[in-house]
Amino acid sequence: MNVLILGSGGREHAMAWKIAQSPRLTKLFIAPGNAGTAHCGTNLSIGTEDFPAIKQAVLEHDIELVVVGPEVPLVAGIHDFFLADGQLRDIPVIGPTKKGAMLEGSKDFAKEFMVKYNIPTAAYKSFSTKTLAKGYRFLRTLQPPYVLKADGLAAGKGVLILNDLDEARKELREMLSGKFGKAGSTVVIEEFLSGIECSVFVLTDGSDYLILPEAKDYKRIGEGDTGLNTGGMGAVSPVPFADSVFMEKVESRIVKPTIEGLKKEGIFYRGFIFLGLIKVNGEPIVIEYNARMGDPETEVVMPRIKNDFLEVLAACGKGDLKSQKIVTDERTVCTVMMVAGGYPGEYEKGKPITGFEKVESSIVFHAGTKNSGDKIVSNGGRVLAVSSYGTSMAEALKSSYKNIGLLEFEGRYWRRDIGADLL
Ligand code: AMP
Ligand code: GLY
């Protein structure tokens, strides 16, 4: 089977690494990929939103399955584009249609969906420029901190948590006047929840579903969860507090009603659902949905799946997921992200990276890297994710920290406290 993965981050390298191990694979292509994915298959220099070029590549390389990594092409309707094209219609795409991707692409849509299907989530109200005064009034009824969310995609920057009422009013006004462009033309204001977060991943073919290993992500740049939000600085799986009692609640109260709700809405959803959850007094509550896998969570989830993952994805693509069962590696996997100095603010690219040959007993997933002559150079804010197995979390972390120190580039930075809160 020939497979095309869309995307260029650590998530896509981890998927490519896993799919490349499948005996069912003939040829693997990654568009656009990075220096790491080039070792798992062939990179195609095509952007993930260039649908006509993707079509040409799919036909030229006889692609039989497309796996979509990031949210932007999903929200832009890549799956709908395939369904509407006579030559592409029968080629399965793993990733929801545009309507399904609204679970991530519109926070207002996701909140309304959760309320309609009784899925636990924070209380909220949505506002637009026309209802700014109502927004101010609603803020006054809440206790700080105030949670403001731009409705649309804002590359992970659209959520603000503010302690001061005046500041919240000012931010609401600025968001509605275009601080995040069109993404902020509607703003969701919601109740602040205090608890511990984890991510649960579901793969669905539209009627059946599988729950993949859960993970905990570390989002802030600084140690002790301080400083600016990033795409994610590290992850661990399994998550000790996501015990079987908690996971049963997640399945019955969130996963099942989500799949049922999508069906009732007539939304064709074939792909990953990422549940961003918070555990409050033992109960799971949804913070957000994403229409894709997480990054860097995928860098710990893929190594824990023992199945031939291509077989699972192919079954999903045929609507035959009920034939599959996920077999999970009992070991812990952690990943530590090495980022460019300055990230998530301004940072430089093009720094040569050395030390790959010294790494032992860790898997180095590439995020922002590219080949430049005979060198591998940095090409993004998040550069490498160093994943390791361990019979305990402490052992997995020890291995990642030993190996990450062997990889060098100018300005490199990583958090030294991934998983420390769980030990
Ligand atoms: P999101 O982009 O929706 O994942 O939000 C980013 C982060 O903001 C989440 O990972 C949470 O840490 C935090 N957050 C979002 N919504 C809430 C909420 N209602 N209460 C507390 N924290 C929240
Ligand atoms: N690591 C969080 C995300 O992928 O959205």
The neighbouring-strand residues paired with 408 are: 354
- Ligand 2 center to 136 CA (angstroms): 30
Shortest-distance atom of ligand 1 to CA 158:
2
Residue 386 predicted with pLDDT over 80: yes
**What is the reported pLDDT for 339?**
98
| CA–CA gap between residue 72 and residue 291 (Å, rounded) | 10
Shortest-distance atom of ligand 1 to CA 219:
10
**What is the reported pLDDT for 155?**
77
Shortest-distance atom of ligand 2 to CA 296:
1
Provide the percentage of residues in the chain whose pLDDT is more than 70: 100
- Ligand 1 center to 159 CA (angstroms): 7
Residue 133 predicted with pLDDT over 80: yes
Residue 99 predicted with pLDDT over 90: yes
Give the binding-site residues of ligand 2, using a 6 Å CB cut-off. 217, 231-232, 290, 294-295, 297
pLDDT band at 34 (very low <50, low <70, confident <90, very high): very high
Q: Backbone phi, then psi, for 255, in 5-degree steps? A: -65, -55
Mean pLDDT in the chain?
95
**What is the reported pLDDT for 180?**
79
**What is the reported pLDDT for 328?**
98
pLDDT band at 313 (very low <50, low <70, confident <90, very high): very high
Residue nearest to atom 2 of ligand 2 (CA): 294
Reported for 133-138, long-range contacts at CB under 8 A and 24+ positions apart, including other chains, are 135/172, 135/176, 135/187, 135/189, 136/169, 136/172, 138/189
Phi-psi region of 28 (alpha: psi -120 to 50; beta: other; left: phi over 0): beta
Q: What is the pLDDT of residues 269-297, one digit of tens each?
A: 999 999 999 999 999 999 999 999 999 99
Q: Provide the b/e sequence for 271-296 (b: ≥16 CB within 10 Å).
A: bbbbbbbbbeeeebbbbbbbbbbbbb
pLDDT band at 83 (very low <50, low <70, confident <90, very high): very high
Residue 156 predicted with pLDDT over 80: no
**What is the reported pLDDT for 256?**
98
Residue nearest to atom 12 of ligand 1 (CA): 197
Residue 407 predicted with pLDDT over 80: yes
Q: What is the pLDDT of residues 236-260, one digit of tens each?
A: 999 999 999 999 999 999 999 999 9
Q: What is the pLDDT of residues 202-231, one digit of tens each?
A: 999 999 999 999 999 999 999 999 998 899
**What is the reported pLDDT for 249?**
98
CATH match for 123-190 among 3.50.50.60, 3.10.310.10, 3.30.1490.20, 1.20.900.10: 3.30.1490.20
- Ligand 2 center to 259 CA (angstroms): 21
- Ligand 2 center to 131 CA (angstroms): 31
pLDDT band at 130 (very low <50, low <70, confident <90, very high): confident
Q: What is the DSSP letter of 143?
A: P
Residue 78 Cβ contacting ligand 1 at under 6 Å? no
The pTM for the full model equals: 0.95
Q: What is the pLDDT of residues 38-75, one digit of tens each?
A: 999 999 999 999 999 999 999 999 999 999 999 999 99
CATH match for 2-96 among 3.40.50.20, 3.30.450.270, 3.30.1370.30, 3.30.1450.10: 3.40.50.20
| CA–CA gap between residue 296 and residue 276 (Å, rounded) | 13
Among the listed residues 290, 378, 375, 276, the one whose alpha carbon sits nearest the alpha carbon of residue 337: 378
Shortest-distance atom of ligand 2 to CA 295:
4
Residue 189 Cβ contacting ligand 1 at under 6 Å? no
- Ligand 2 center to 311 CA (angstroms): 25
Q: Beta strands of 296-392 (E only): which ranges?
A: 332-339, 363-366, 369-372, 375-378, 382-390
Residue 288 Cβ contacting ligand 1 at under 6 Å? yes
| Most ligand 2 atoms within 8 A of CB, residue of 104, 230, 274 to mutate | 274
Residue 181 predicted with pLDDT over 90: no
pLDDT band at 157 (very low <50, low <70, confident <90, very high): confident
Q: What average pLDDT does the segment 128-136 reach?
A: 86
Residue linked to tokens 């007094």: 281
- Ligand 1 center to 215 CA (angstroms): 16
Give the domain ranges of the chain: 2-96, 123-190
- Please list, in sequence order, all residues whose beta carbon lies within 8 angstroms of the beta carbon of residue 186, skipping any fewer than 6 positions away: 106, 108, 126, 127, 128, 150, 151, 152
**What is the reported pLDDT for 357?**
97
The Cβ of residue 228 has, within 10 Å, a number of other Cβ atoms equal to: 12
Q: Beta strands of 281-348 (E only): which ranges?
A: 283-290, 332-339
pLDDT top residue among 90 and 159: 90
Q: What average pLDDT does the segment 301-308 reach?
A: 98
